[in-house]
Amino acid sequence: MNWSELAETTFMLVYTFALVMVSIYGLHRYTLLVLYYRHRRKHPKLPERFEQLPRVTIQLPMYNEKNVAKRIIEVICRMDYPRELLDIQVLDDSVDETQQIAREAVDHARKQGFDISYIHRDDRIGFKAGALGNGLKTAKGEFVTIFDADFVPEPSIVKDSIHYFTDPTVAVVQTRWDHLNRDDSLLTKSQAILLDGHFIIEHIARNRSDRFISFNGTAGTWRRSAISDAGGWRHDTLTEDLDLSYRAQMRGWKILYLPQLTAPAELPPEMAAFKAQQFRWTKGGAQTALKLMPRVFLSSLPLKVKIEAFFHLTAFSVHFYMALLVIMMFPALMMRNLPLESGTFWRTAFDMSVLLLATLSGSLFYVAGQAGLMRDWRTTVKFLPLLMALGVGMCASNTKALLEALVGRKSDFIRTPKYGNVDRHATGAESAATGRPKQKRQWLPYVEIGLGIYMIVCTIWSLVNYEVALLSTPFLSLFAFGFFYVSLLSLQKHRAPAPAKAPEPSVAAAGVYVSQPAPEPIKSAVADS
């Protein structure tokens, strides 16, 4: 075998491996759909009710959240829970005017009789995990509820969920995220569909089939003793919530998911903020996989739990395989015998198998998610090409995150900027104020533009050689659009749309809280879960 044949064979093996891996993860989506439809009516049952409600600590971690700090404090102060049993902690690591805003809101609430404390750290050691752990040192509650600063939870959410802890094996009760600014733009609509798929299909399928799920970092309540038993909050990964969830479940604790209870929050309206969020989740997920997968496989957990844990913890690796396929696309088009000779039955069967496993599975997954919420799932169908394009367009950024995790490169916890009800220009000064470091070298968007141009070249080639590559043309066009969409929006300095206005408590002249009506719960198929 000469060098040319060796290079071609190696290329064929790598390309086929990437195709197979993408197809395997696509097949796993079908598995989740089967589990969802098999177990969706297996609603969690309330064991009993507390005769005396327990004391609950509500932690509000924040970092430079000037647009939403006051709102979340006021919203928490109208919780439908006995005031004498609430302990509220504002865990503020801010270095901007959020400090003054939060202090004033806390002082006002304290004057109204709330047991609320303002805890500020100057060092920000451990980021969010460090703040949560620091708050536990003085927390008074047996249970700890966490809300990020952009959430607007239902007033009854703690009272409605706390009784599930009468089961002594329950460590966490997780509620479902809803979205305040779902309809603001194509980007926020796409994010909402993606998250709905996670919260409806993935969480229900895993939780009700007795597989591991994760606490989502917010909008949930922990049993304080479970946190201690699992080893407490740790900050050696960027996804401290996923890490603690797995450690607790490996200790025998249960996580209970209640999709009928919702906590609306804000979706990132800017591509740069969305990419930063996805980067953190991807890198943190990879770090957690490297840390915990050996322990999971060496444990005595059931095989089904181990298999699902593998797919759960390694899900973001699909971006790496997609990046490989994109880079190798043009040579693969030129070498028509990859992985099987063009024009043959087996080549057609292979291409259709990849299409059904890798592409159709994602489409069915997200349509099913909207159908599970009883939204207009038919309208969702028209967003499927954009979802596919967005997924491919994000593969460069997320591959970078994955590689950083693999080589052990450390990075700060970059929070997702929150805008509240405020319009703003995304200036460099604002970036600094929100805790997002100024980007000295915006090189990644230019790489994405280059990949977009590369996909256009591949698209033109497939059109010219339509006899053997016509099936590839629509997908190549979507890939090109995805890279341009992600890169150009990343570079664009634009005016962020104002999210849907959330209900704001107001303060009457007499000095008592006068609350606006709470957001109406979404009418959905999970409402009676």
Query: Which amino acid, 501?
Result: K
Q: Tell me the backbone φ, ψ of residue 383, rounded to 5 degrees.
A: -90, -10
Write down the catalytic residue from 87, 92, 93, 184.
93
User: Which residues contact residue 5 at a Cβ distance below 8 angstroms, ignoring those fewer than 6 apart?
Assistant: none
Write down the catalytic residue from 148, 160, 184, 241.
241
Q: In this structure, how many other beta carbons lie within 10 angstroms of the beta carbon of residue 139?
A: 20
C-alpha 507 chain-centroid distance: 34
Label residues 361-384 b or e (16+ Cβ within 10 Å = b): bbbbbbbbbbbbbebebeebeebb
Q: Do 267 and 186 meet the contact criterion of CB atoms below 8 Å apart?
A: no
User: Is residue 115 flagged as an active site residue?
Assistant: no
Cβ contacts of 97-103, under 8 Å, gap ≥ 24? 97/66, 98/62, 98/63, 98/64, 98/65, 98/66, 98/69, 101/66, 101/69, 101/70, 102/62, 102/69, 102/70, 102/73
Q: Do 505 and 516 meet the contact criterion of CB atoms below 8 Å apart?
A: yes
The secondary structure of 223-258 as a DSSP string is: EHHHHHHTT----SSS-HHHHHHHHHHHTT-EEEEE
Which residue reads 């990437």 in tokens? 18
User: Which residues contact residue 62 at a Cβ distance below 8 angstroms, ignoring those fewer than 6 apart?
Assistant: 69, 72, 90, 91, 92, 93, 94, 98, 102, 148, 149
Cβ contacts of 100-108, under 8 Å, gap ≥ 24? 101/66, 101/69, 101/70, 102/62, 102/69, 102/70, 102/73, 104/70, 105/69, 105/70, 105/73, 105/74, 106/73, 108/507
Q: Do 146 and 132 meet the contact criterion of CB atoms below 8 Å apart?
A: yes
Query: Residue 97: in which H helix or E strand, if any?
Result: none
Which ranges constitute the DSSP H helices of 162-314?
186-196, 203-208, 224-229, 240-250, 271-298, 303-313
Active site positions, annotated: 93, 241
